A and B are shown apart, each in its own frame.
Chain A
Amino acid sequence: MTASAEISQLVVGYDDTPVLGPVNFKLHPGVTALLGRNGSGKTTLMRTLCGIIPALEGRCRVLGSSVEDGAPVRSKVGYLGHESALATALTVEQNLSFWSDIAKSYPEATVIASDDLVEHFDLSALLTQKVKKLSRGQRQRVDLARLAMTDPRFVVLDEPLSGLDPVYAAQTRDLLRTWGETRTVLYSTHSVPEALEVARNYLTISGFGLVELGAGGTPVTEAAILSALEATK
């Protein structure tokens, strides 16, 4: 199977201070869970994979291309941060309009119409509401619609399930599984049972390195993931 992301000897961090690495791994279509303890470098690694921050060392290729500043391949990358990308003083409709205008300026842009997203993510009742009035789960739904707008092939989500009520969490887990059928999805989480339910592959940050679990269809247990996590710095 062709890899969607190929990472070799990658060292990630901020301002020349390494947080994690060197690491080597490949990502394939499907859902991969990234697990690690607080401060282990999950967010830093995901930011580097998307080109948000530069790698300190090593190579990172996504969908066959480097993710350097301005790279066209980023049109195919979708990122959901821990905080929503929505302007709190604006309405949901105004936010979607802004991100739609931005997405249309991408090279090789594929932009799904806002009306379709509103229907798919059940946002019609929220359209005229200001984002600051929305709950965490409602914001998450709008932000996922924003992410889906460009029909990304490589999707990276930073703790998308944290702080959601059980209903929104179940809907989001279903969405991740659906996306995983046709795309490469990498998401971070602190919940081992949830990761076992949603993902097929697992990257566990262990010390300054990564342990890959589940590759080749090998069954993975909670004990195996916890064992890898315990070695974390």
Chain B
Amino acid sequence: MTKPRSKHERSAAFAKRAWKQQRSTAVWLAAIVGAALGMVVFIGAGEMNAITNLSDLIPDQQAGLVTVHASDGTVVSMTTYLMTMAPAMLGMLIAVVATLTLPGVVADDISGGGIEVLLASPIPRRALFTAYLGAGLLLTAASWGVATLSFGVAATLTASIIGASTTLSFAYIAALIILPLSMGVWSATATLFGALLYPGSLESKAGMNGGPIRFLAIFPALIIVPALLAFPSATLTMLAVVLAVTIAASVLLIFLTARGFRSTRVLST
């Protein structure tokens, strides 16, 4: 027999289990997509940098977010454009990784008998939800950290190999941190909202690219790119808006999920 421990360790138990269940997907997938993006932005442009009227074909790059120079010092427009879009693309990738890993955190409990046993335990419903949320956010934070780091390392290595140099602005660095993190947090909360309140919504359906909740989870990431392109001179303002909106929406979704989390929603009859 052992003595009872602090109830705060319950959340740690959920987080530990989620990590064991999903770490390979959360870490390796994030590392691969981050590194791939870091390489693609420098080598993906290929010969397109040599097109003379490129400035007529892609949006204006004079916002000063980031500038990439070739080894001879000339600005490489297409690479600069890809680099500018990298934070938004990274945000989308983190959002997608969250939709792939988080359903697994609760799926076993809901499709098996785990949720019944947890609901029969003296753990209050609200505390159960908090534990699931904590585990989900931990996985998302790990994905974000790994993807951002691998992007940075891969981009730096690729740039040095091809002899390119990059000038980063403060706004760009802020975007590189804020966009993926906010997209990941939103995607995590939206996915948990679906898993706990509408478990059937995470099932794949033809034409919906993996179910309506997955679409909802990555939707903000889909509109970030056009939003940034539409207001190239107000990037910092746009980032602040994106951060504020996604945090507010995530908090609202957490509140709705906590309120609507009922045993009858997750149990089949």
Name A82's contact: one of B16, B113, B124, B127 (CB within 8 Å). Answer: B113
Contact indicator B125/A14 (Cβ below 8 Å): no
How would residues 111 to 153 of chain B score, 1 for a CB under 8 Å from any chain A CB and 0 otherwise? 1111011111111110100000000000000000000000000
Q: Is the CB of B20 within 8 A of A109?
A: no
Interface bits A56-94 vs B (CB < 8 Å: 1, else 0): 000000000000011111110101111111111110001
Asked whether, in the complex, the Cβ of A87 is within 8 Å of the Cβ of B108, the reply is yes
A-B contact pairs, 10 of them (CB 8 A): A47-B263, A50-B120, A73-B122, A86-B108, A86-B114, A87-B114, A102-B123, A104-B9, A107-B4, A113-B1
Chain A nearest Cβ from B200, distance in angstroms: 15
Q: Per-position contact with B for A124-155: 1 when CB-CB < 8 Å, else 0?
A: 00000000000000000001001000000000
Q: Does A51 interact with chain B (Cβ within 8 Å)?
A: yes
- In the complex, what's the smallest C-beta–C-beta distance from B50 to chain A, in angstroms? 49
In this complex, the member of A81, A82, A108 whose beta carbon has the largest number of chain B beta carbons within 10 angstroms is: A81
Could you mark each residue 221-248 of chain B with 1 if its beta carbon is under 8 Å from any beta carbon of chain A, else 0?
Answer: 0000000000000000000000000000
Q: Within residues 100 to 114 of chain B, which ones have a CB less than 8 A from any CB in chain A? A: 104, 108-109, 111-114
The residues of B with any CB-CB pair to A shorter than 8 Å are 1-7, 9-10, 12-13, 16-17, 20-21, 104, 108-109, 111-114, 116-125, 127, 263-264, 267, 269
Which residues of the other chain, A, contact B111 by a CB distance below 8 angstroms?
Answer: 83
- Alpha-carbon distance A1/B104, docked complex (angstroms): 47
Which residues of chain B have C-beta atoms less than 8 A from A72's C-beta? 122
Q: Which among A73, A98, A146 has the highest number of chain B CB atoms within 10 Å? A: A98
Question: Contacts of A98 on B, CB cut-off 8 Å?
Answer: 13, 16-17
In the assembled complex, the Cα of A86 lies from the Cα of B109 at a distance in Å of 8
